Amino acid sequence: MQFSPTNGDFTFVSSTEAEELSGTISSPDIKLNIASESGKDPYATTFLRQRGYGWLLEVEEDDSEESKPLLEELDIDLKDIYYKIRCVLMPMPSLGYNRQVVRDNPDFWGPLAVVLLFSMISIYGQFRVVSWIITIWIFGSLTIFLLARVLGGEVSFGQVLGVIGYSLLPLIVIAPLLLVIGGFEVVSTLIKLFGVFWAAYSAASLLVGDEFKTKKPLLIYPIFLLYIYFLSLYTGV
């Protein structure tokens, strides 16, 4: 004896016409694979994952970024600064240095270090000179920048600031000599003039390009006066 199924899921047969009772249950919406994951996850976790809600249980692992070195964080390139220092101290083109990198690739920390070093050797017990030298560096560079722009030069304030700051290195070099031969006025004066010309030439050769043509003295002269003023802050004359 056989009964017609009512929902399409069950088939009933009479026990007298079949040796065993068989049937199937289909559940397309819920499929649990308890045997494979019961040993790993709880039932609720398995249920959510099988239903497509496993993302609720995911824990995002924060990928800890490797800590960068302090110099890299501050954007300080010591090799670049050292190369620029050599370009300023040895401004002769015959030495083969690419001196334009001082102007074309300006930085802040190198010139600031040079200006602070010049301030330190100029203190003589008067700490206010440090802030005064930094002020002259910033506003003196601003004056040179404005004058260069008026004369038609294509330079930025950052470039002028970097060149003027790095070019204080010759004055730092002659500072120990002035301490040694300070009693000899003639020799001391010659060394001071040499240091000022050295610094002014180093800065002017980088800032005063071919675009100025016949107007070069109009920019070289204030640069020369600026370094005379820097030297006066050191020597007190």
Summarize pLDDT for 6-19 with one digit per residue, the tens. Answer: 555 545 555 555 45
Q: Can you say how many angstroms the Cα of residue 167 is from the centroid of all Cα atoms in its chain?
A: 22
Write the pLDDT tens digit of every residue in 137-196: 899 999 999 988 888 778 888 889 988 998 898 888 888 888 777 677 888 889 889 999
Residues 62-80 have pLDDT tens digits of 444 566 677 677 778 888 8
Helix H or strand E segment including 73: helix 70-73
Whole-angstrom CA distances from 219 to 78, 83, 150, 163, 202 are: 30, 26, 10, 14, 13
- Alpha-carbon gap, residue 70 to 227, rounded angstroms: 33
CA nearest neighbour of 111 among 88, 129, 95: 88
Residues 16-70 pLDDT 10s:
554 555 555 554 554 444 444 444 456 667 766 766 666 666 665 544 456 667 7
Are 102 and 162 spatial neighbours (Cβ–Cβ below 8 Å)?
Answer: yes
Q: Which amino acid does the sequence have at 18? A: A
CB hemisphere CA count around 152 (13 angstroms)? 9
Q: How far apart are CA 100 and CA 210, in angstroms?
A: 13
Count of CB atoms situated within 10 Å of the CB of 181: 14
Q: Which of 136, 147, 161 is nearest to 227 (CA)?
A: 136
What lies within 8 Å, CB to CB, of 43 at 6+ separation is 34
Using pLDDT thresholds of 50, 70 and 90, give the confidence band for residue 205.
Answer: confident
Q: In this structure, which amino acid lies at residue 160? A: V
